[in-house]
Amino acid sequence: MSRIGNNPVVIPSGVTVTVKDNTITVKGKLGELTQNFDVVDVKVEDNNVLITRSSDNKESKAKHGLYRSLVNNMVKGVSEGWSKELELVGVGYRASNQGNTLELALGFSHNIVLSLAEEVKVETVSDKGKNPIIKLTSFDKQLVGQVAAKIRGFRRPEPYKGKGIKFVGEIIRRKAGKSA
């Protein structure tokens, strides 16, 4: 029994959900998302999306909560949006953006220039005396997470000084250095 899968997804005002064949489409003020599904039944009733299992085999039990979570993320994304913030920790680490092109100075011989998808909006904040912050926002949770992970992968935080790109609020496990 999936406790998450049994909960209905509430559809806020301004969001439309349509189910056709094995595809669910969610439209809202921020954009439109589609998701294919199988082994579960999806129904839209009274501003709620209900996801039920078609059978009790292992695969449908496993995917029941998954599809409910995906639909919930889609509904929240097109109505409110998703955001991630990354912090650059290190001397000389800088970030700047021109539209959807992000330029990172991370201590390599050349700057890293990254052009992002048009669905992802990027903003950089560089205050004096504070670490630069990169803010990513979009209506697609999977896309925001993927872009944030790619940016973080350029310089992962190292455990001795904590230098690198980390998520805002992330706690880095620190190691003790050499003991003399």
pLDDT in the model for residue 178: 86
CB 28 within 8 A of CB 139: yes
Nearest Cα neighbor of 150 from 142, 138, 160, 158 is 142
pLDDT in the model for residue 54: 85
The residue ranges of every structural domain in the chain are 3-79, 82-167
Nearest Cα neighbor of 97 from 127, 63, 128, 135 is 135
pLDDT surpassing 70 at residue 1 = no
CATH architecture assignment, domain 3-79: Alpha-Beta Complex (3.90)
DSSP codes of every residue in 7-73: SPEEPPTT-EEEEETTEEEEE-SS-EEEEE--SEEEEEETTEEEEEESS-SHHHHHHHHHHHHHHHH
**If you average pLDDT over every residue of the chain, what do you get?**
93
User: In sequence order, which residues have a C-beta less than 8 Å from that of residue 180 and are 6 or more positions away?
Assistant: none
Torsion sign, CA atoms 148, 149, 151, 152: positive
Helix-helix angle 58-79:141-154, to 10 degrees: 90
Token pair belonging to 53: 């299992």
pLDDT > 90 in the chain, percent? 86
Q: pLDDT tens, 91-100? A: 999 999 999 9
Fold for the domain defined by 82-167: Outer Surface Protein A; domain 3 (3.90.930)
Q: pLDDT tens, 45-84? A: 999 999 999 888 999 988 999 999 999 999 999 999 999 9
Same fold: 3-79 with 82-167:
yes
Q: pLDDT tens, 9-48? A: 999 999 999 999 899 999 999 999 999 999 999 999 999 9
